[in-house]
Amino acid sequence: MRIDIHTDDSAVVEAWTDRVPELVSLARGRLADDPGEVGLLYAEHHLAEIAPDTWASAWGLDAPPTPAELLRRLQPVALWGDPADGLHLDLSIGEELTDYVLTFEVRADGTLGEMDMES
């Protein structure tokens, strides 16, 4: 799993690097259980904007994915922020497909807070 960590605090890098797989698992579980308006917006936006043949070349699919499948395929791209202001975990369907990410607030106790779609 490759992820960029953006922070000026080396203690954050040390403390959170090993927790990234756990955070990604929590985010995927949350999206699988209840993607909410933001998760559905992310999926539906990309399904409407990306040509059907692009899914074949990018993911080897014969047809566009379902919203649930698209959300299952999200990959971690960045962990960023400052513990005082809050960390954020960004997931994406791939930089070759979009500039948009789903970003999850990461609380100090390692739980996930609000989710938003950003570019």
- Partners of 91 in the β-ladder: 76, 102
Which has the closest alpha carbon to 28: 66, 86, 76?
A: 76
pLDDT of residue 86: 82
Q: What is the largest CA-CA distance in the chain?
A: 46
Beta pairing, strands 86-92 & 101-106:
antiparallel
For tokens 């922020």, name the residue: 81
Which has the closest alpha carbon to 98: 23, 33, 44?
A: 44
Q: Whole-prediction pTM value?
A: 0.90
Phi, psi of 67 (to 5 degrees): -55, -40
Beta pairing, strands 75-82 & 4-6:
parallel
- Amino acid, res. 108: A
pLDDT of residue 50: 97
Instruction: In whole angstroms, give the CA distance from residue 40 to residue 86.
Output: 24
List the pLDDT tens digit at each of the 119 positions of the chain: 567 777 777 777 777 888 899 999 999 999 999 999 999 999 999 999 999 999 999 999 999 999 999 999 999 999 998 777 789 999 999 999 999 999 999 998 889 999 999 99
- Amino acid, res. 76: P
> CB–CB of 46/97 below 8 Å?
yes
